[in-house]
Structure formats: C-alpha cells, structure tokens
Amino acid sequence: MRLPVALCLASVALAAAGQSPLQRRVVKDVLDYFHSRSNVHFFFKEQAVEAAVEREDPSGTFVQLRLNLAQTACGKRAPRRHSCKTVENRRKPACLACYKFDGGDVPKVLDKYHNCGPSHHLAVKEIRQRDEAECRAVEEAGKAADTLYLPGMYAFSKGLPA
C-alpha cells in the first residue's frame, strides 16, 4: 500500500520539478480557484499535469495546462495541508487552464480561463469546443496593444462634406 503512494508522490514531485515558474504559478492559481468554489469541501492536490504548452510572442507568454487533481482526506480549510493524504476512489477532477502573462520582470496576468470538472466532463465535444475558443481568446490577449497606430491613420476613412 505504501509503494503506490510513494510512487504517486514521487511522480508529482518530478512533475513539479519539470514545470516552469509560470506553469507552477498557474497550477497554484487553479488550485486556489478550485478551492474557492462553494461546492468543494475537501482539499485537492495536483495529481498530474497531463499536457503543458508554453508559447512566447511579442505580447507575452501563453501557458495552457491540463491537470488532474486528487481529493484528500482533509477539509479545504485544513491548517496543515502538506500532510493531507489523497483518498483512493474519490473525486478526481480535471482542469484546463489558459493564461496569458505580459513580458514584465514580474509577469502580470493579462487574461485567463479555467474550467474544472469531472474528467469525462472536459471530453464532451461542446465543452471542448468552448474551451478551445476561450483559450484562443486568452492567447490573443495583449496582441491588440502591440498594433502600431499612427496619428491621423484613420483621418480619411470617412469622406468630409464638400
């Protein structure tokens, strides 16, 4: 019984070690968001990051994560969360998170989107399509600010009365 738990903890530690600082920040933010929901009564831990995308462009860095959570035996307001053990055969929600950060020294969130639910929930075609559209919109955040507008650029877009 201890070996599977130890392997699970080791895989979470390895996953966290392979994450960029922005990805770790997104995981923390998703967990905070998930625990803030009124229907969540237990503390959840990151079980695994299923997929991670991180792309940079002139407007900032886009991070997309699909992560699986695991329910613990502790209440969400437990004071010693680090010692909470995951509970087998309990809720294991999946979350999709899309974040766009600016390019500053301390990156600020320009836009974000999360969707957490039962793992089969994110596989439903309509939800998946909505998630993809929302993530595309998040990735585009900040790009309009990079467009160069010169004074008088639209001065002749309407005809003036003669």
- Nearest Cα to 103, choosing from 138, 60, 64? 60
Average pLDDT of the segment spanning 99-107 = 91
- Nearest Cα to 44, choosing from 14, 78, 20? 78
Structure token digits, residue 127:
């939800």
Is there a contact between 85 and 73 (Cβ–Cβ < 8 Å)? yes
Is there a contact between 55 and 91 (Cβ–Cβ < 8 Å)? no
Instruction: Determine the Cα–Cα distance for residues 98 and 31; give it in Å rounded to an integer.
Output: 14
pLDDT at 136: 93
7-54, pLDDT tens digit by residue? 343 344 444 558 899 999 999 999 999 999 999 999 999 999 999 999
Residues 72-84 as b/e (b if ≥16 CB within 10 A, e otherwise) read bebebeeeeeeeb
Average pLDDT of the segment spanning 122-151 = 77
Ordered by start, the domain boundaries in the chain are 2-40+47-69+93-145
Which residue is it, tokens 């792309």?
55
What's the whole-model pTM score? 0.73
42-94, pLDDT tens digit by residue? 999 999 999 999 999 888 999 999 999 999 999 988 777 778 899 988 888 99
